[in-house]
Chain A
Amino acid sequence: MVRINVNGEERQVDVPEDMPLLWVLRDELNMTGTKFGCGIAQCGACTVHVDGAPTRACQTPVGMLTPDSKVTTIEGVKGKAAQAVQAAWQKLDVVQCGYCQSGQIMSAVALLTDNQNPTDQDIDAAMDGNVCRCATYVRIRAAIKDAAQTMRA
């Protein structure tokens, strides 16, 4: 049995310790908002927060988490940055196929939690690990700036 804390709830799962958090979330806890895109931390579709830090769930063996580790997924993300980011994404109709967007949003929320006035270079650095094959990058950049403005206001 592995104990983890997801979105503020204690969960127990009967899985091998090397099972990545991604598959624990998706297959064991039926939380499918976190996506499988590459399995090798190259696309960011599986981005969650572990103790607030953006983390690729596909390369995080669940056994590495302690019961004190706080995992936040797209289903549970909240707060000022999350609100601003999701509102900006909706306002600018960022999504196309939408499959990468949970991960994009989790990365953007982490960026804006730390930095409410990101430069283009800050955005590149924070978001380059999140691939969007529809290439919604123009709008992701605009939405991050829009959300940052909301947060500063």
Chain B
Amino acid sequence: MLHHLIRQAAQTGFPDSGFAPGPLRAPSRRGFLKAIGAGAGVLVVGAHLPMPAFAADAAPKIVGPADPRPHAFIIVAPDNTVTVLAKHLDKGQGIVTGIATIAAEELDADWAQVRGAFAPADAKLYANHFFGIQGTGGSTAVANSWDELRMAGAAARAMLVAAAAARWKVPAGEVTVSKGVVRHAASNRSATFGELAEEASKLPVPQQVKLKEQKDYVLIGKPDLHRLDHISKTNGTAIFSMDIRRPGQVTAVLARSPRFGGTVRSVDDAAARKVPGVIEVISLPVGVAVIAKNTWAAMKGREALTVAWDDAKAETRGTDAMLADYRKAAETPGSVAANKGDADKAIADAKAKGGHAVDGEFVFPYLAHAPMEPLNAVVALNPEGGCTIWAGSQFQTVEQMTAAHILGCKPEQVKIETQWAGGSFGRRATTNADYIAEAVMIAKAYPKAPVHLVWTREDDIKGGRYRPLFLHRITAAVDAKGALVGWKQRIVGQSFMAGTPFEAVMVKNGVDATMVEGASDMAYPVANLAVDAHTVASPVTTLWWRSVGHTHTAYAKEVMIDRLAKAAGKDPVAFRMEMLKDHPRLAGVLKLAAEKAGWGQPLAQGKGRGVAVHESFNTYVAHVADVTVDAKGQIRVDRIVVAVDCGEVVNPDIVKAQMEGGAGWGIGHALRGEITMTDGVVDQANFDSYLPLRMSDMPVVEVHIVPSHERPTGAGEPGVPTVAPAVANAVFSVTGQPLQTLPFSRGGIVS
């Protein structure tokens, strides 16, 4: 649902307020052709192909344009390299490798000749078919590219075959391709892709292509394919935007209000200007920019600033006070997200007739994304107008339009050079371009040189756009036979869609879909279901965070299910399996994870085993966690077994890596992750106070992938939601105490 809503928002347009850039306009294709240096001998077909409409709601099985577009995605060069352009950002999830694999398969390229590169910003060519704008998120990238790049690869292959057939004057049907070599067996002739590139580039693009069958794949699904970035990221040569060095470049840091919603009242920059290396200090609506010769001088200059902030519109509550307000809100009904049957009556009936009701209150803290590469972007104003942005750009179209709005130029005058991103976890995908907008504003105010805006780690931890603080209250009941008969859930928290260009379509009947996903549409077939939500307002900025609403909804649901299973006297796996009869893929991952983990085998004293299962982003995941609870009540996660069904798998080793990383992400934040505030000021500042998962915390992770012929879905986010509840349920199996306040360190059970 999220995907369609975002796409609608993009089509409806952005309201003209704040950084919002006005109605969506189609950018030109010129940037693309220039960026990839289309020239003689390169199979980049310059001819304009008719652009199909963005993905059709009516045909959800077909994602992508109806015709092959090899020119947009594949460059076969005379040096025999095949470069596959990624319209998506690679922030570690391996998508550059994934989409190159898809294209190379149909092209019959040799993996050793395949390269990856980031496509330029151009929504007409490179829109995410789920969003309608160019952007990465929601674990959509492979699903997006599956048809598009198979077709592009097959079309490019057909063009190479046609070129060879013409050169050798043989029927195209007699020409074969394998591992990057085009052959005519009867006449014993062969040519490399590079040798045929120029001739192939002059041929028409076939409008109909035949795709391979799964049994014929030589690259897709193979576990031994290396990532395309596995060497550059181990020898220091991979370039992130943090590493961009343009001639004459200066570095800027920005002093921002310590309270969310605060504004600059007055600035004394005399001392800052005396710091050696400081070039300029500029007050902007978003804060005070210190521009310097290098990063160290910029940071020292900012320390020397005296800024008085106006807190008139700022958040001045602490998180304890906010939570108290949330609890007050939870006393009254919220906006309805799901309403089936009569939950109140079903729960009362169950209690009256020998069943059991269970109450749970869950508290989820604010969480920072804290990608390893602190946010940063380089912006250079172009002499001909507009600018060039070097960044780990995740929402290229939003950033293009926002920069254009700030500079008063056309969106197509904003070029984006997307770089490898040092993590994101959702942080780089913002509805107002955020740090990139800041960098453009500074570049506009200081047009003399390319500007590199660098956030420090403190800026990042204190800088907001957190996973929102959430309160859930749930009452659910099993009847005398142990069947789940009623479920009532109230969710209180901020909406990060409210007040953005996406609000009109993302918030329906007062409910932000991203707050209730995974709860209002839960798979368990409870006949009496009532889910409602209160959206509370605060200047504290919030955002999607790896797996979005499922970070909290799956946790609350799966911990409650274990409590209900216990109340019903049933085994947690058996209880779930009974309810998932109509959900074969959920049942499939649950069964696989339980089997591989040895579910049901006796455990030693102090050891616990817990399970959780959930669907998110069209992918099905189950986790089984093994924990130790020591004599002092301290917990340790020993092993995670995960089963995942994400349809047909392009790169199994990358899916495995995402499950390993997703497990670490889920455990790390469940153990110790929280952002708190005192009087509106964030208490944490850096990795000494916002405590990340470290090596010694990391359990063994065993990943099992369900073989599938279903269309591929995503793997980046779905590996997160069920990790923490599986761990909580494992602890519950030992202590009998449900863990309902996160992080676990709050309960004193984590050192």
Contact = CB atoms under 8 A, between A and B. Distances in A.
A93 B457 contact: no
A136 B233 CA distance: 13
A101 interface: yes
B670 to A, nearest CB: 13
Contacts of A35: 240, 242, 372-373, 422
A132 B372 CA distance: 7
Interface string B651-668: 001100100111111001
B687 A43 contact: yes
A54 to B, nearest CB: 14
Contacts of A123: 695
Contact of B295 (A27, A105, A134): A27
Given A16-B276, A30-B245, A93-B657, A135 B668 contact: yes
Contacts of B657: 93, 96, 136, 139
A38 B294 contact: no
A139 B656 CA distance: 11
Contacts of A140: 695
A135 B235 contact: no
A99 B423 CA distance: 8
A75 B660 contact: no
Interface in A9-29: 15-16, 19-20, 23, 26-28
A20 B230 CA distance: 29
A120 to B, nearest CB: 9
A71 interface: no
A26 B231 CA distance: 21
Interface residues of A, number: 54
A37 B374 contact: yes
A23 B295 CA distance: 7
A93 B226 contact: yes
B140 to A, nearest CB: 18
Interface string B228-256: 01111111111110110100000100000
A1 interface: no
A32 B243 contact: yes
A93 B227 contact: yes
A99 B92 CA distance: 9
Interface string A32-65: 1111111110110100000000000000000000
Nearest to B654: A93
Contacts of B242: 32, 35-36, 99
A98 B422 contact: yes
A23 B294 contact: yes
Contacts of A34: 236
Contacts of A16: 276, 296
Please classify the interface of chain A as helix (H, G, I), strand (E, B), loop, or mixed, using the class held by over half of its residues: loop
Contacts of B231: 90
Interface string A60-95: 000000000000011100000000001001100111
B425 interface: yes
A134 B233 contact: no
Contacts of A137: 664, 693-695, 698
Given A35-B242, A96-B92, A97-B371, A131 B687 contact: yes
Contacts of B423: 97, 99, 133-134
B696 interface: yes
Contacts of A19: 294, 296
B180 to A, nearest CB: 22
Interface in A104-140: 105, 123-124, 127-128, 130-140
B92 A27 contact: no
A100 interface: yes
Contacts of B614: none
Interface centre among A30, A73, A95, A140 (most CB of B within 10 A): A95
A132 B370 CA distance: 11
B216 interface: no
Contacts of A127: 695
Contacts of B694: 128, 131, 137
Interface of A: 15-16, 19-20, 23, 26-28, 30, 32-40, 42-43, 45, 73-75, 86, 89-90, 93-102, 105, 123-124, 127-128, 130-141
24 contacts: A27-B294, A35-B242, A35-B373, A37-B373, A39-B299, A42-B688, A43-B372, A43-B687, A74-B236, A75-B235, A86-B234, A93-B654, A94-B234, A95-B229, A97-B422, A98-B92, A98-B229, A99-B242, A99-B373, A123-B695, A128-B694, A134-B92, A134-B664, A135-B663
